[in-house]
Amino acid sequence: MILSAPSWVELTLLLPLLGAVVVYFLKLPAVAANASLGFFITTLLTATVATWSFAGKKIPALMHFAVDDLAAPMLPVLVLLHLLTLLGTAKSRVSPMFCVRLLIANFISLAAVTCQTPWMLIALLLLGVLLPLWDLVSRGQRVRGYLIHMGLFVVLLVTGWQFAGQEIGYGLLLIALLLRGGIVPLHGWLPTLFQGAAYGTAMVFVLPLIEVLAALRLLLPSTPEWMLNAASVACLITAVYGGGMAIVQSEVRKFFAHVCLSQTALVMFAVMLHTSNGLTAALCLWISSSLSLAGLAFSVRALEARFGPLSLPEHHGLYQQVPGLAVCFLFTGLASVGFPGTIGFVPMELLLSGSADQGLWVSGTLAIAAMFNGIAILRAYFALFTGKRPTTSVSLQMTPVERFSVILIALTVFLGGWFSPGLVASRHHTADQLLERAGPGATKK
């Protein structure tokens, strides 16, 4: 029996939730991990079919949810992000509750991207805040900083929605989403989250870039232009700041957190441009940044599972022992900064060209941010994989699961570069639709 397009969408939404319920009753970590893996692979297949079934017309599914131009390409991307998070987690650190949180996080991200009603999207944003809190509490970590930032986010989001349609409402919503994205000076929670929470929990909270989706759904239609311009300046400053801070970090997790901060700011900056080219760049960067940073995080977590926390001021010489992870780290890191031939190249070019009409200082600042990120990636690579060659009697070669993951990441990063023209054309059409919805105040360039 061949299912209809709405049925595939409904399966994609419900499978992670069903998986969370099933895994909750499993006690053995290995069994929970295998069951979660099965649910993620099945969800990836249904999400891919649902995306292929999309032919330019909205596919209704469950109440308040549907697949449209904005959501269609993101379904498999979000599932793949969570799948890589599970595959990159060491077996010794996988627990049934970690798998439950991962499956719930996947459901929230899929539900958010397909949500068609603003109040439901806001409810999903608020629900997503609870998962890192759950993880921090279960690990006995301090939660004060996270609670202060996310508590402010909740208050601003709810209050802003109460005044929706007024300038003060749009302003509060904008500040809330900038806080959620870690835009300076509201960024303090993001590096500390990567240090205190499980790496996987921090990844699936930050890398889906749900604040980008919320900005497109809630802000773009009617937000005053001066607010978006002010936010774009803050995002531009954050992109440079995050890249600069990533260069000088001494811990790998802090390095990765600041790279994420810079890349998130670049995507948000592209959204705030509210032009056709800018939004096209934002939609393409949303996909490329999520996947490339997920691949970079995979290699970092695999290194930590073998060698523990690593410092960057010294050279560890790990290439000889784990050459596959070294290659994965390098090409995913370079993809995140737009290296030619990778999935991030065309989106970064679109961002630079889309900002050209904003002035030379904007394009120059974007180039500086990209340069800082590239320097940070190469510095971390040389610190981790070059220098002295330590010896050990224990085999540290990649496992079959890790080899499969690296191949999957490589195919995604490089094939994504080959198929970029079709993706750009699709995202440009979506950007035009968003601008038409925004009305005469938006600019098509």
Amino acid at 301: R
Give 357: exposed, middle or buried? Use CB within 10 Å, 0-12, 13-18, 19+. Answer: middle
Higher pLDDT pick, 351 / 2: 351
With a pLDDT cut of 70, the percent of the chain lying above it is 92
Lowest mean pLDDT among 40-44, 74-78, 303-307, 395-399: 395-399
- Distance in angstroms (rounded) separating the CA atoms of residues 312 and 302: 16
- pLDDT band of 395, cuts 50, 70, 90: low
Summarised one tens digit per residue, pLDDT across range 346-369 is 888 888 887 777 778 888 899 999
pLDDT of 322: 85
In DSSP notation, 124-154 reads HHHHHHHHHHHHHHHTT---HHHHHHHHHHH
* Residue 60 scores a pLDDT above 80: no
- pLDDT band of 440, cuts 50, 70, 90: very low
pLDDT of 104: 95
Structure tokens at 224: 């005053």
* Residue 443 scores a pLDDT above 50: no
Q: Most distant CA pair in the chain: distance in Å?
A: 68
pLDDT of 376: 94
- pLDDT band of 2, cuts 50, 70, 90: low
* Residue 23 scores a pLDDT above 80: yes
- Distance in angstroms (rounded) separating the CA atoms of residues 382 and 312: 9
pLDDT of 409: 86
pLDDT of 1: 40
Long-range contact set of residues 366-370: C-beta below 8 Å, sequence gap at least 24: 366/236, 366/239, 366/266, 366/269, 368/240, 368/243, 369/236, 369/239, 369/240, 369/242, 369/243, 369/262, 369/265, 369/266, 370/243, 370/337, 370/338
Amino acid at 313: P
This prediction's pTM: 0.90
Summarised one tens digit per residue, pLDDT across range 228-273 is 889 999 999 999 999 999 999 989 989 999 999 999 999 999 998 8
- pLDDT band of 56, cuts 50, 70, 90: low
- Distance in angstroms (rounded) separating the CA atoms of residues 396 and 348: 36
SS3 316: coil
Higher pLDDT pick, 359 / 157: 157
pLDDT of 421: 73
Domain extents for the chain?
Answer: 117-438
* Residue 380 scores a pLDDT above 60: yes
* Residue 211 scores a pLDDT above 50: yes
* Residue 12 scores a pLDDT above 50: yes
Which residues 6+ apart lie within 8 Å of 411 measured at CB? Answer: none
Q: What is the mean pLDDT of the chain?
A: 86
* Residue 148 scores a pLDDT above 50: yes
* Residue 342 scores a pLDDT above 80: yes
Does a cis peptide bond (omega within 30 degrees of 0) precede residue 185?
A: yes
pLDDT of 268: 92
pLDDT of 423: 76
Summarised one tens digit per residue, pLDDT across range 263-313 is 999 999 999 888 888 888 889 899 999 999 999 998 988 888 888 888 888
pLDDT of 40: 94
DSSP 250: S
pLDDT of 438: 54
- Distance in angstroms (rounded) separating the CA atoms of residues 96 and 119: 31
* Residue 445 scores a pLDDT above 60: no
pLDDT of 3: 56
- pLDDT band of 391, cuts 50, 70, 90: low
- pLDDT band of 341, cuts 50, 70, 90: confident
199-206 and 252-272 helices cross at what angle (nearest 10)?
10
pLDDT of 82: 93
Higher pLDDT pick, 389 / 255: 255
Strand-pair partners of 59: 67
pLDDT of 196: 86
With a pLDDT cut of 90, the percent of the chain lying above it is 40
